Chains A and B, each alone.
Chain A
């Protein structure tokens, strides 16, 4: 089956006075029809830039410098601005962190929805308005009919995000890109919005690229997860495998550092020393090597590309099929709290 979205060897560059920065470097992944792919990583890892590159909205001077992006098998990275505009909204729906960036504060909610519907579909004004109301009902806005004439500021944050979801889905896109859709919302509202997004996309068979720094949201929502580090792929695989049996030392560190509601609260949290490097200062070889306690000489000289690792792919020499080229003696990790298997252990088969 053709992937809904296919990203191959993507490189995004940002020219600056200090030189050309590689915000995304040799990134490849696919999203299958109906699949939810979670994209996680620390602040600055390149999550949003990946999303912007796909929808053709990279902020200049950022540019796609290499690689291919395909939607339903067709290349979209080389399309002109007009063609790209038609794809956005119709074939790719977008949801951002701050609902107010997607809503015009001066227009009534109903008018914004109706207008968007009319740009994608040939309907009468009346039919478009009916469809708008149906959409608002579907995203759980009470008294939707009356709410059509409200302005965005008359809605709470959670309601606004519901409207944005309605907007993103109104043309039945094949892909929805949601960038931190719940980060600005209250804890009790986040869960509602995530559940809504997941339900509506699966009903419509839309694929989702869910960008977030919250591994918990990913664990609950995604089918597969892609972990980014300093603009590069660290690990990609089925969500259960990545969460329970992380294969890349960075993913392993990340998972162990997350405080959870299970386990012994008195146990100190595992921590990764140091911080992710800035784009201008990515070390040679593996970008993670200064923070990795598996690092060996090769990691400082050569850049690891994804190797098959258990159910996942991990960009780490620990998984080089040639044992002679792996680190001399992998340090046995104390299995962290919550039974996360160490990165150098053989994973159990995952369903």
Chain B
């Protein structure tokens, strides 16, 4: 095993002059869960909609990692899909390097932008075509974007990408099933890097992996970021993992960002009651028997979330107006917190 060593420090606090590469504003996505029109006419029942993402704003500076955390169904993957252009938003915008991902534009501009964005998924097996050799899997984006015409040069580039992710150039001749879970995730990373992207969305990239392999993949992602200046949107439900990768963190609850802060600040001084609860729920490997905020209840049905602050039925600090008024984002230091407890700072409200 490799002993731990300190890597060059990542940008700790967001740099004031840093230019955001990715900007997400007022992002919203509503899913229609209604039965088909004819069934509604016959069986009755009205329209049913689910607001998976409800007015989300954040931006990611070049070379930084923005982490989205939240429990199942909070809208993480829906945001990821809208950010890479796989799912159209119901409202709001996503722009990469100033270009709107969902804006009207020519095919050429679209292709140029698409090239800059790649995605890595949770399940490294499902995301790789089992019938293709690794070589073909990795060179697919190179071909799709017409980056390297000569097959020999392409093969050389695939070899280079394989060694970049810690595999052997000869592994290109094998099939995905010949690799372990961690190695498959490396292949997925190599494929994502093939089009020379600037922005990579990683949706739970290590959730299906064992801890010893998770560490390999997390270290690799970090190493690649340093070497290639990549910008990541990193999605996870594991706060301990997020702490190791993120520059800035957004905490999602039922489609809303309830807290948004520099990673250091979020972990040192969480503000939103839900963030505190999530941190308290992380099993204590240090065995220090820390005091915890009692956790009650479960995530409510997202089809009709509780009114006002969605978190109010579970919140130990709930106040009367919490069940009627939706809290705006209050700025507290470098954090934005959607909770009425921070209303004293109303003057600074966004």
Contact = CB atoms under 8 A, between A and B. Distances in A.
Interface of A: 42-43, 156-159, 186-192, 194, 213-217, 219-220, 239-240, 243-244, 249, 252-254, 256-262, 264-273, 275-276, 291-293, 333-334, 336-338
A167 B264 CA distance: 43
Given A214-B283, A261-B239, A187 B278 contact: yes
A322 B286 CA distance: 33
16 contacts: A43-B210, A187-B71, A187-B238, A188-B71, A188-B278, A254-B212, A261-B282, A262-B286, A267-B4, A267-B5, A269-B4, A269-B218, A272-B215, A275-B183, A275-B212, A291-B1
B284 A219 contact: yes
Given A188-B278, A268-B222, A338 B210 contact: no
Contacts of B295: 188, 191-192
Interface in B274-326: 277-287, 292, 295-296, 298-299
Interface of B: 1-7, 9-10, 12, 71-72, 180-183, 210-216, 218-219, 222, 237-241, 243-244, 263-264, 267, 277-287, 292, 295-296, 298-299
Given A259-B218, A259-B241, A190 B281 contact: yes
B13 to A, nearest CB: 13
A257 B214 contact: yes
A318 B10 CA distance: 38
Nearest to B282: A261
A271 B71 contact: no
A213 B207 CA distance: 12
Contacts of B71: 186-188
A268 B299 CA distance: 34
B284 A220 contact: yes
B278 A271 contact: no
Contacts of A254: 211-212
Contacts of A272: 1, 212, 215-216
Contact of A191 (B1, B9, B283): B283
Nearest to A42: B210
Nearest to A156: B298
A215 B285 contact: yes
Nearest to B183: A275
